[in-house]
């Protein structure tokens, strides 16, 4: 009885206009909310990336506390150094300090022998470990991340984990790949400066750094004026094997976010540099442990000066 009275008094259905108004309001609400949600998700991804860099920076500090120097790398073959040539990189050396001691201990027995002779990191029992993909080495902005793991330099056909984070070798002009840089003009008499294959690089991480064992007191440009770790994309650079001393560093010789189109990932003299998918720049972990966003419009000389550990350049990170 009550029901039929209600029907009689009110209307039985929405009119077309009412329906359209409701749809319009819903559309406006979605239009407002969806970009907001995307923005929040993007901010979350950025925070994750910053956090990864922060953790790696902390690992460097903890390693320094424990060993009195920052994590070092071991080259894969003799290049004037005494060895061992295991190919162990600084990220592998940092594993115990990012809560991955068990993984490090699995690697540990195989960290002998020459890599190029089937020892070191290419010991058959170690190869499965090389596939360990770690979230802390992945920037969520890089969607192409894991697709390039079988074409890494010196690991062709072998599946290895890759990293979005690379140590800063300094300003080494890799194989002379870039025209004379402003740093070379100012500090090296206009002559190209390439030391990636020996123990002379002027940054914090390079494949022969076991010969130098850099400690914080060697970073005379100041811990807050020296980049330690930056970002890279495996899609653009096949030197990205995560635990390997020839895949865990990059140089500041090329412009920040250098992204040739189409990608040219095997052209190591040009592309062993820093880049990210963050709009208009890239993050760096500074030697003091802080993480800073650096604009890709940064003055090139300043950028290069910030990548050296003891260049006496007095460069400061732009605010």
Partner 1 sequence: MRLRRTTVWACLLILLLGCGSSNWGTATGTASLDGEPLQKGTVSLEPVDGGAIAYATITANGSFRVMTGSKEGLQIGKYKVTVVDQTIPDMDSNEVVKLLTPAKYADSATSELEATIKPGRNTLEFHLKK
Q: Is residue 318 close enough to count as binding partner 1 by CB under 8 A?
A: no
Q: Decide whether 203 or 265 has the Cβ nearer to partner 1.
A: 265
Q: From CA 80, how far away is CA 75, in angstroms rounded? A: 10
**Other CB atoms within 10 A of residue 288 CB:** 15
Residue of the chain from 143, 144, 218, 280 that contacts partner 1 (CB under 8 A)? 280
Residue of the chain from 6, 179, 189, 217 that contacts partner 1 (CB under 8 A)? 179
Q: Is residue 305 close enough to count as binding partner 1 by CB under 8 A?
A: no
Q: From CA 121, how far away is CA 107, in angstroms rounded? A: 8
Provide, rounded to whole angstroms, the least separation between the CB of residue 300 and partner 1. Answer: 5
**Other CB atoms within 10 A of residue 35 CB:** 10
Stretch in the footprint of partner 1 (CB under 8 A) among 22-30, 37-45, 118-126, 278-286: 278-286
| CA distances from residue 128 to 103, 131, 159 in whole angstroms, order as listed | 11, 6, 8
How many residues make contact with partner 1 (CB under 8 A)? 39
| CA distances from residue 21 to 15, 33, 101 in whole angstroms, order as listed | 10, 18, 61
Residue of the chain from 94, 209, 296, 308 that contacts partner 1 (CB under 8 A)? 296
Q: Is residue 281 close enough to count as binding partner 1 by CB under 8 A?
A: yes
What is the pattern of x (binds partner 1, CB under 8 A) and - over residues 192-211? x-x--x--------------
C-alpha 196: how far from chain center? 18
| CA distances from residue 90 to 168, 204, 210 in whole angstroms, order as listed | 11, 10, 10
Which residue in this structure is represented by tokens 């506390």?
A: 65
Q: Is residue 124 close enough to count as binding partner 1 by CB under 8 A?
A: no
Provide, rounded to whole angstroms, the least separation between the CB of residue 319 and partner 1. Answer: 17
Report which DSSP code applies to 48. H
Stretch in the footprint of partner 1 (CB under 8 A) among 93-101, 123-131, 135-143, 189-197: 189-197
Stretch in the footprint of partner 1 (CB under 8 A) among 51-59, 121-129, 214-222, 273-281: 273-281
Q: Which positions ≥6 away from 151 have C-beta within 8 Å?
A: 238, 265
Stretch in the footprint of partner 1 (CB under 8 A) among 8-16, 105-113, 220-228, 275-283: 275-283
Q: Is residue 190 close enough to count as binding partner 1 by CB under 8 A?
A: yes
Which of 170, 152, 132 has the alpha carbon at shortest distance from 249? 170
Q: From CA 25, how far away is CA 209, in angstroms rounded? A: 62
Which residue in this structure is represented by tokens 């990608």?
A: 263
Provide, rounded to whole angstroms, the least separation between the CB of residue 21 and partner 1. Answer: 25
Q: Is residue 258 close enough to count as binding partner 1 by CB under 8 A?
A: yes
Please give the residue ranges that form the binding site for partner 1 (CB under 8 A).
Answer: 77, 153, 175-180, 182, 185, 190, 192, 194, 197, 246, 255-261, 264, 266-270, 275, 277, 279-281, 296-301
């Amino acid at each position: 009885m009550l029901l039929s009275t209600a029907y009689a008094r009110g209307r039985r259905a929405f009119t077309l206009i009412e329906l359209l108004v409701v749809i319009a309001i819903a559309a406006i609400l979605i239009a407002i909310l969806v970009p907001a949600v995307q923005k929040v998700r993007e901010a979350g991804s950025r925070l994750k990336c910053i956090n990864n860099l922060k953790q790696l920076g902390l690992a460097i500090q903890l390693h320094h506390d424990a060993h009195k120097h920052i994590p070092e790398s071991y080259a894969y073959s003799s290049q004037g150094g005494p060895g061992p040539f295991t190919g162990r990189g600084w990220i592998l050396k940092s594993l115990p300090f990012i809560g991955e001691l068990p993984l490090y201990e699995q690697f540990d027995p195989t960290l002998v022998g020459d890599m190029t002779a089937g020892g070191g990191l290419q010991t058959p029992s170690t190869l499965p470990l090389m596939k360990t993909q770690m979230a802390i080495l992945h920037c969520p902005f890089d969607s192409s991340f894991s697709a390039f793991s079988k074409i890494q330099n010196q690991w062709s056909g072998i599946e290895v984990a890759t990293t979005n984070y690379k140590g800063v070798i300094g300003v080494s002009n890799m194989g002379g790949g870039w025209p004379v840089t402003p740093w070379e003009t100012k500090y090296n008499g206009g002559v190209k400066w390439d030391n990636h294959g020996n123990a002379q690089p002027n940054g914090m991480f390079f494949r022969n750094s076991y010969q130098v064992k850099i400690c914080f007191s060697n970073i005379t440009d100041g811990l807050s004026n020296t980049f330690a770790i930056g970002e890279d994309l495996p899609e653009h650079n096949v030197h990205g094997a995560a635990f390997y001393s020839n895949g865990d560093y990059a140089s500041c010789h090329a412009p920040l976010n250098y992204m040739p189109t189409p990608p040219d990932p095997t052209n190591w003299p040009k592309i062993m540099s820093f880049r990210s998918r963050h709009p208009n720049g890239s993050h760096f972990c500074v030697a003091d442990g802080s993480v800073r966003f650096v604009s890709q419009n940064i003055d090139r000389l300043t950028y290069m000066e910030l990548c050296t550990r003891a260049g006496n350049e007095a460069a400061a990170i732009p605010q």
